[in-house]
Amino acid sequence: MSSEERRLDYLNVSGKEYVPYVPADKVIPEFTATAIIIGFILAIVFGMANAYLGLKAGMTVSATIPAAVISMGILKGILKRGTILENTVAQSIASSGEAVAAGMIFTVPALFLWGYAPDMMTMTLMALLGGSLGVLLMIPLRRYLIVDEHHNLPYPEGTACAEVLVVGDQGGTGAKTVFAGIGIGAGYKFLMGAMGIWNENPEWPIPGLKGAAIGFDVLPALLGVGFIIGPRAAFTMFAGSFLSWMVLMPLIAYFGSGLTAPVFPATTPISEMDHWDLWSKYIRYIGAGGVAVGGLFSLIKSLPTIFSSFKASLGGLTKGGGSADENLRTQKDMPMSIILIGAVVIFLACAFLPQLHMGVIGGIMVVLFGFFFTTVSSRIVGLIGSSSNPVSGMTIGTLIIVSVLLKAMGFTGIEGMLAALSIGALVCISIAMAGDTSQDLKTAFLVGATPYRQQYALLIGVVASAAVIGWTLTMLNSAYGFGTKELAAPQATLMSLVVKGVIDGSLPWALVGIGASVAVVAELLGISVLAFAVGMYLPIHLNAAIATGGLLSLIMTKVIKNADQLKRRTEEGILLASGLIAGDSLMGVVLALLVYQGVDLSMDMKWGGMLNEVSMGIFVILAIAFLRHCLTYKLDKEN
């Protein structure tokens, strides 16, 4: 059977019978210095990019396939060498950067919002400990989840990445598309954000409807995000924003227009507020209540899968992964002694490092909740993929339980809040990292990589991302501020509200309750409640841009009738979108550094009072060019 036939037939055989693309008896370069260096650099790049994107848009984008394509382009296109297993190592290291960044930005900015900003060393420690825990706890489950359950757990991103790697090894690669997207995204962002040639946030108040406005964040990253998540999710998020900006805010402005005293939590009367004031003082709390309930609904719906996954995973762990031949190169895991030593070191660090605010009780909670949820995460992503993994829901559940337990033990005030958030942060990072580890080990299994080398590669990726994530968060907060319209940080704001609400109860509960009630209505109507609630929380400007990307995806499905062509042109669009996201987000970090250093390159263009219209026109041109490329580029078979 040829390599191509094996590649296309892998889901029709059991894990023990499957013959990988690179057979176990074949040894080729894999864990090389070149692969490690490329992966290390890409982990930093994608970690920083996703940190900015997640704080801006409330979501991160998987780095797995873009990293694989870029490493392929470097190894094959620039260096003119490199094997598929080197690509697999580089991709695994790179994808770790995105996973660590996701766990960090979902939780740690809450500390900044409280005025207790951790120093860079503390954030580095949190990323290292949480990321390493997620990798280590997944390893003993690999044989059961990846090998024994091969025909039951497809691990969508891991399988797709394996396909991309095999296609690249056989001569095809989309690296040019990704690099082009990076260049366009970075150049667009620099001209707009650094030089001020056009405006990033064109907006127009709605005449006769005080408190309402429509606008666009004309960012390439948001266009790319919308294309990747598709029209359904993009339009659902926009609908949530429409409710907030066109219904709730005008209602607040209308009924508050005659008040002369402020309404909590605002400190100025509603009659003196513009639409951004209304969003900041009221809508963010309503949206946070909706997101909290959406996360809990996501968790509740996942409970049967969570418990069955935990039970099945424990069963596989006690069985030791069946009768797989441990002498095969493709079945050798990291030694259990290293895993146990690593887990003990993580516990001791959590328990005794004072900057983590946990103590022995907190260290125990991190290990217990980490073990439960990383085990669950590893299996869930095998069924529904990392993009649908309810990380936020599991983190909210962790924070609620931890906060209640700490309060019952006498931890109150800021002491209890810091302890609960620190525990939740490490568990969140480990959940995200466990999901990523599972996908990467599935990729390794399919292409025939050596498991223990992949596992060390994943830990290297954790180190790479941890080395820069603290600096990145500090820089972004200094330049833009978390919880602002520039960086809304929705998940971190939500985690802050959950912990603060349980520990000291100082929240505008009426607003939170309104948002929770709206989320319940959305659930009863069959709407994707979490996407709708996130849309309620985020500014309409951001979701309008994401909806534009979703519209492009919808147009493609209507224009292209051939299923094979649609699939391949959509893949091209996803590569281009990933490049736009990476280029835009990375330039966002660079611009934050310029702001932090006091460098001003702005030309302060006015365009004769038509700045908003010019900005919108340039964004429309970008969208049309994106769609035109996807519809007209030559498919491989046409070349």
Give one DSSP letter per residue of 356-422, joined into a string.
G--HHHHHHHHHHHHHHHHHHHHHHHHHH-GGG--HHHHHHHHHHHHHHHHHHTT--HHHHHHHHHH
Our CA angle for 82, 85, 90, nearest 5°, is: 80
Whether 369 and 382 have beta carbons less than 8 Å apart is answered as no
Q: State the average pLDDT over residues 573-593.
A: 88
Query: Average of pLDDT values for 527-550?
Result: 90
CA dihedral for 406, 408, 411, 414, sign (positive or negative):
positive
Residues 622 and 220 sit within 8 Å (Cβ to Cβ) = yes
pLDDT band at 323 (very low <50, low <70, confident <90, very high): very low
Residue 20 has pLDDT above 70, yes or no: yes
Spatial neighbors of 377 by CB under 8 A, at least 6 apart, are: 134, 389, 391, 394, 431, 432, 434, 435, 438
pLDDT at 519 over 90: yes
Per-residue model confidence as pLDDT tens digits over 38-97: 999 999 998 998 899 889 877 777 777 788 888 888 888 788 888 999 999 999 999 998
Q: How many CB atoms lie within 10 A of CB 126?
A: 30
Higher pLDDT, 19 or 612: 612
Average pLDDT estimate for 522-542: 89
> DSSP letters along 568-618, please?
HHHHHHHHHHHHHHHHHHHHHHHHHHHHHTT--------GGGTHHHHHHHH
Q: Centre a 10 Å sphere on the Cβ of residue 319 and count the other Cβ atoms it contains.
A: 12
What is the C-alpha separation between 490 and 106, in angstroms, rounded? 8
**What does pTM read for this prediction?**
0.81
Q: pLDDT band at 2, cuts 50/70/90?
A: very low
234 is written with which tokens?
């993009």
Query: Is 637's pLDDT higher than 60?
Result: no
pLDDT band at residue 107 under the 50/70/90 scheme:
very high
Q: Quote the tokens at residue 542.
A: 């951001």
pLDDT at 387 over 70: no
What is the pLDDT averaged over residues 365-379? 85
Question: What's residue 248's pLDDT?
Answer: 96
Question: Distance (Å, rounded) from C-alpha 453 to C-alpha 434?
Answer: 17
Cα–Cα dist 390/376, whole Å: 10
Share of residues in the chain with pLDDT > 90 (%): 49
Amino acid at 470: G
Taking each helix axis from N to C end, the angle separating 413-447 and 156-169, rounded to the nearest 10 degrees, works out to 40
178 CB neighbour count, 10 Å cutoff: 27
Higher pLDDT, 283 or 164: 283
How many residues are present in the chain? 639
Nearest-5° Cα angle at 603, 598 to 604: 95
Q: Which secondary-structure segment (H or E) carries 124? A: helix 120-138
pLDDT at 108 (0 to 100)? 94
Is the per-residue pLDDT at 104 higher than 90?
A: yes
Measured CA to CA, the distance from residue 438 to residue 389 in angstroms comes to: 12
* Alpha carbon of residue 217 to chain centroid: 19
pLDDT band at 33 (very low <50, low <70, confident <90, very high): very high
Separation in Å, CA 137 to CA 24, 325, 435: 25, 22, 11
Average pLDDT, the chain: 87
Residues 162, 586: Cα–Cα separation, whole Å: 26
What pLDDT digit, counting tens, does each position of 178-226 carry?
A: 889 999 999 999 999 999 999 999 999 999 999 999 999 999 999 998 9
Q: Which amino acid does the sequence have at 199?
A: N
Question: How many helices and strands (H and E) does the chain possess?
Answer: 24, 2
pLDDT of residue 290: 86
Mean pLDDT, residues 438-452:
92
pLDDT value of position 3:
43
Better-scored residue on pLDDT, 265 or 306:
265
Strand partners of residue 215 = 203
Distance CA 38, CA 238 (A): 38
Question: What single DSSP character describes residue 636?
Answer: G
* Section 511-538 average pLDDT: 90
Cα 252 from chain centroid (whole Å) = 33
Please determine, for residue 14, whether its predicted confidence score (pLDDT) is greater than 80. no
* pLDDT for 172 beyond 80: no
Ranges of H-type helices in 197-283: 220-243, 249-255, 275-278
